[in-house]
């Protein structure tokens, strides 16, 4: 590692599953880890105090959104992102690339960067590798990532072109970075094509980064395709550096992707589901592509005295019934979404912790089997 204050130690492995410790300027992160998403410098419906109580060790914030509003230079003037949002733990910022390609209007990509219009007011902006690094240096997260182009997963020609740009941009991002207290992750792309993923892993590890993000998955391809790409990448990515699977996933995804060598995850699922009146459950359900959940709007919970998930130790489950949470969401009371958010984040963070303990004790495969046995019950 060439970045100060940043170290990754692989503590134990169990087949392909890995348990590690990631040292950052704002604290140590045990891996595997789930990172709650704080898109606009807030994890929706949860305060930093809640996040600490839940045991969150790192959160993600979004470069595209914070650049547009309130502005990265303003955040720098106000003391940086940690101070601005009152979170003193580690933060990872994404590059904004994914949002430019999915949210913005009228984007035009060229070899040098991408020009786009804001989804908020239609104003025109341009991201280049250098600009995206400058924004992330202003924000001051512990881990920052390279600008990449996230192509549709199954278009080979497009993926070849997008990968060439992503690789050139990765080199430029590394050259543009000047802060010594931030780790920089490269992003492996290449859709669902093993040869392109392989090429990408070779290129990026040759350039050399502090860790490797895996992008362009969980964007419409099948689970089998996603797992296949992870199996291609596992032996190609350096064993002594962290691997971060972007935008994934469900409790079952955590189990299955850790089983294929992934260390870090982020996903809006738990917070978004909470705002859609749903509680995540451990039960992976009959369809492995969809997480277990209960929707509190369902009339069958109106008289249900049970907690959201029996056996859960979160604040919501320890104090309130399904009937009460259903009443709150029906009455549009903010507390309903807050309690569902606490439960859903607690579940993801707990599963990541359990997986880590299982790896440390050499019983990850047994844990994985027990996890799936629930689906058959
Ligand atoms: Zn709970």
The 10s digit of each residue's pLDDT in 125-147 is 999 999 999 999 999 999 999 99
Average pLDDT for the chain: 95
Is 277 noted as a catalytic residue in this protein?
no
Q: Is 50 exceeded by the pLDDT of residue 362?
A: yes
The answer to whether the CB of 308 falls within 8 A of the CB of 343 is: yes
Q: Is 90 exceeded by the pLDDT of residue 4?
A: no
- pLDDT, tens only, 86-112: 999 999 999 888 888 888 778 899 999
- C-alpha distances in Å from residue 356, one per residue of 24, 54, 175, 291: 19, 16, 35, 21
Mean pLDDT of 60-79: 98
What whole-number percentage of the chain has pLDDT above 90? Answer: 89
Query: SS3 letters for 293-328?
Result: EEECCCHHHCCCCCCCCCCCCCHHHHHCCHHHHHHH
pLDDT of residue 124: 95
Give residue 28 CA to ligand 1 midpoint distance, Å. 26
Q: Which residue among the candidates 72, 142, 148, 266 is catalytic per the annotation?
A: 266
pLDDT of residue 230: 98
pLDDT of residue 286: 67
Q: Which residue among the candidates 94, 142, 148, 210 is catalytic per the annotation?
A: 94
Give residue 318 CA to ligand 1 midpoint distance, Å. 7
Alpha helices for 249-290 (secondary structure H): 251-258, 269-275
Give residue 268 CA to ligand 1 midpoint distance, Å. 18
pLDDT of residue 97: 85
Give residue 31 CA to ligand 1 midpoint distance, Å. 22
Band (3; pLDDT cuts 50, 70, 90): low
What pTM value is reported for the model?
Answer: 0.97
Q: Could you give phi then psi for residue 27, rounded to 5 degrees? A: 125, 175
| CA distance linking residue 308 with residue 298, whole number of Å | 13
The answer to whether the CB of 229 falls within 8 A of the CB of 246 is: no
| CA distance linking residue 344 with residue 359, whole number of Å | 23
DSSP structure class, residue 172: H
Give residue 29 CA to ligand 1 midpoint distance, Å. 23
| CA distance linking residue 247 with residue 119, whole number of Å | 20
Give residue 311 CA to ligand 1 midpoint distance, Å. 8
Is 266 noted as a catalytic residue in this protein?
yes
Give residue 146 CA to ligand 1 midpoint distance, Å. 36
Containing 138, the helix (H) or strand (E) segment is helix 129-139
- pLDDT, tens only, 260-289: 999 999 999 999 999 999 999 998 766 767
Q: Could you give phi then psi for residue 159, rounded to 5 degrees? A: -65, -35
Give residue 269 CA to ligand 1 midpoint distance, Å. 15
| CA distance linking residue 190 with residue 264, whole number of Å | 19
Give residue 346 CA to ligand 1 midpoint distance, Å. 7
- pLDDT, tens only, 162-215: 999 999 999 999 999 999 999 999 999 999 999 999 999 999 999 999 999 999
């Amino acid at each position: 590692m060439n970045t100060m204050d940043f170290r990754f130690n692989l503590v134990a492995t169990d087949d392909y599953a890995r348990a590690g410790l990631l040292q950052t300027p704002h604290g140590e992160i045990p891996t595997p880890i789930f990172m709650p998403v704080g898109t606009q410098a807030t994890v929706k419906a949860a305060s930093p105090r809640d996040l600490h109580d839940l045991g969150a060790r790192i959160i993600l914030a979004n470069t595209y959104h914070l650049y547009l509003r309130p502005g990265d230079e303003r955040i720098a003037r106000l003391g940086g992102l940690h101070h601005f949002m009152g979170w003193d733990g580690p933060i990872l910022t994404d590059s904004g690339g994914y949002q430019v390609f999915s949210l913005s209007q009228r984007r035009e990509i060229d070899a040098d960067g991408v020009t786009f219009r804001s989804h908020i007011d239609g104003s025109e902006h341009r991201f280049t590798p250098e600009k995206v690094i400058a924004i992330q240096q202003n924000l001051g997260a512990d881990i920052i990532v390279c600008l990449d182009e996230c192509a549709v997963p199954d278009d080979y020609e497009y993926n070849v072109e997008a990968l060439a740009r992503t690789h050139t941009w990765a080199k430029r991002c590394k050259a543009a970075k000047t802060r010594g207290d931030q780790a920089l992750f490269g992003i492996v792309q290449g859709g669902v094509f093993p040869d392109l993923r392989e090429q990408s892993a070779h290129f990026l590890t040759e350039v050399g980064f502090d860790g490797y993000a895996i992008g362009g998955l969980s964007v419409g391809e099948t689970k089998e395709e996603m797992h296949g790409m992870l199996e291609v990448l596992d032996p190609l990515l350096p064993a002594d550096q962290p691997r971060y699977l972007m935008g994934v996933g469900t409790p079952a995804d955590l189990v299955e992707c850790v089983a294929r060598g992934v260390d870090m995850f982020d996903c809006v699922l738990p917070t978004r589901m909470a705002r859609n009146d749903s509680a995540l459950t451990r039960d992976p359900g009959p369809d492995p592509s969809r997480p277990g959940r209960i929707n509190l709007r369902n009339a069958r919970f109106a008289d249900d005295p049970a907690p959201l998930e029996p056996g859960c130790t979160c604040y919501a489950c320890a104090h309130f019934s399904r009937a009460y949470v259903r009443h709150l969401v029906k009455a549009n009371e903010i507390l309903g979404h807050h309690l569902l958010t606490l439960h859903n984040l607690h579940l993801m963070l707990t599963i990541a912790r359990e997986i880590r303990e299982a790896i440390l004790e050499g019983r990850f495969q047994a844990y994985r089997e027990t996890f799936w046995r629930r689906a058959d019950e």
